[in-house]
Amino acid sequence: MSGPALKRVDSHSSIHEAALNEAIELTNMLDNLLQSNQKEDALELAYVLVEQWETRTLAHADAEEEGLYKDLVDENPEVKDDIVALIRDHDLLRIIVGEIKQELPKNGINDEIIQRFQSLIIVDEIHNEKEMEVLPDH
């Protein structure tokens, strides 16, 4: 069973929007630090941003997969393919975060890392739009 906030479109959308806006803001700050050659501060912020993705977006994704998505398929089996696609989006986010975590200690902060953080934002934006289409208004 998933909690009531996850099942309501408005509150669920607010959860997504808050986490995504925070990620966008931190990613912009990270890019600015790198562009102004403040690599030490940028590297520190990159680790904070990884933690933000893990504790906000990916923890939320885990909760969705453990409860909400199962409930949605139980209530309406026709959404199963959409749910599979949404879970794949979560997997892509996990993969990209994993790549960032692997690369940061090896190569530090660079444009490729910034691009990966930006790709997280794009995947999450597309995912959130689709999820709002699938989520019934309870």
> 11-24 burial string, b = 16+ CB within 10 Å, else e?
ebeebbeebbeebb
Q: Token match 């990620």: residue? A: 23
Residue 90 near residue 69 (C-beta atoms within 8 A) = no
pTM: 0.90
- Per-residue pLDDT tens over the stretch 50-77: 999 999 999 999 999 999 999 999 999 9
What is the predicted pLDDT for the residue at 55? 96
Residue type, 53: W
* 79-112 tens-digit pLDDT: 999 999 999 999 999 999 999 999 999 999 999 9
Nearest in space to 44 (alpha carbons), one of 59, 29, 54 = 29
- The 10s digit of each residue's pLDDT in 27-46 is 999 999 999 999 999 999 99
Question: Higher confidence at residue 12 or residue 113?
Answer: 113
Helices 80-107 and 111-134: angle between axes, nearest 10 degrees = 160
Instruction: Quote the pLDDT of residue 4.
Output: 52
Please give the residue that has the higher pLDDT: either 8 or 112.
112
pLDDT(24) > 90? yes
Task: Please tell me the predicted confidence (pLDDT) of residue 82.
Answer: 97
Instruction: Quote the CA–CA distance of 9 and 96 in Å, as a whole number.
Output: 27
> What pLDDT is attached to residue 14?
77
* Residue 7: predicted pLDDT: 56
